[in-house]
Amino acid sequence: MRLAGKVAIISGAASGMGAATARLFVREGAKVVIADVLDREGREVAAAIGGEARFEPLDVTSEESWAAVVAAATRHFGKLDVLVNNAGISGSAEQDFYSTEAWHRIMAVNATGVFFGIKHAIPVMIANGGGSIVNLSSIAGVIGSEHVHMAYNASKAAVRLMTKSVAVQHGKDKIRCNSVHPGIMPPMRTSGRTADPAVRAERMRFIPMRRPGEVDEVAQAILFLASDEASYITGSEVHVDGGALAI
């Protein structure tokens, strides 16, 4: 088992990539905290996975909420080895791509939420002798996007660079930090224009593999970076995008 004996927190794990990653981590031997603002859905995912998973409520925009989740993980499982900052919202549902309110909301979830997770996980990982942080960015953190509020691009680019900062600042602490950049995936719960079949068909023309990705394909990349198989990989970007960024 690739994560035997490890303890992980996965934010936004009540659905989609987060839930897929939680299921895979437990199959590979980890104890997992499923952390999400969606209480009912999160508890259902934890119950379906079984005894090595537990749900903890998490509003990623709240520093106090992050502190409580990290404390719960260490209280119940004794340590923290892996943090997956997966929680995020799409910018494609906005009617006004210059909405200031949308800017603050998207940045709060997608960028500040990642910062809070890192801030509260790092001291616990240092005390434990190291760890792995995997941050979910996007190809939208590398290139511009036509169908989303620019805050989505800005927030995902912030995640990309925060990842590299943590890698540089905490390599000496045996903490690795890497980012995963999905391309076109199944629509998110918060998707708008990017869920439109016509928009998706148009975007598919620019994917060399000519198909969308699957959440399990992203989960496999996260698993690798979380595991000791990636012991000398930090500050890196893994593109799970069907070749989109190769063009």
Coil, helix or strand for 1? coil
pLDDT in tens, 194-212: 667 777 777 788 899 989 9
Q: Is the dihedral of CA 122, 235, 90, 217 positive or negative?
A: negative
Residue 190 pLDDT greater than 60, yes or no? no
- Model pLDDT for residues 108-146, shown as the tens digit of each residue: 999 999 999 999 999 999 999 999 999 999 999 999 988
Q: What tokens were used for 158?
A: 């912030």
What does the alpha-carbon distance between residue 178 and residue 232 come to, in Å, rounded to a whole number? Answer: 11
Q: CATH for 7-238, among 3.40.50.970, 2.60.40.10, 3.90.1210.10, 3.40.50.720?
A: 3.40.50.720
The alpha carbon of residue 45 and the mean position of all alpha carbons in its chain are separated, in whole angstroms, by: 17
Nearest to 131 by CA among 82, 73, 85: 82
The catalytically annotated residue of 60, 117, 152, 156 is: 152
What percentage of the chain has pLDDT greater than the value 90? 84
User: Of the given ranges (8-22, 34-48, 194-208), which has the lowest mean pLDDT?
Assistant: 194-208
61-104 pLDDT tens trace: 999 999 999 999 999 999 999 999 999 998 777 888 899 999 99
Burial class from Cβ neighbours inside 10 Å (0-12, 13-18, 19+) for residue 3 reads buried
What count of residues does the chain have?
A: 247
Q: Retrieve residue 80's tokens.
A: 């923290």
How far is C-alpha 239 from the chain's CA centre? 13
pLDDT band at 42 (very low <50, low <70, confident <90, very high): very high
Instruction: Find where tokens 């006004």 sit.
Output: 96
Give whole-number Cα distances, 125 to 32, 43, 129, 167, 212, in Å: 15, 26, 6, 13, 35
Q: Does residue 12 contact residue 36 with C-beta atoms inside 8 Å?
A: yes
Tell me, yes or no, if 232 is annotated catalytic. no
User: Confidence band (pLDDT; 50, 70, 90) for 34?
Assistant: very high
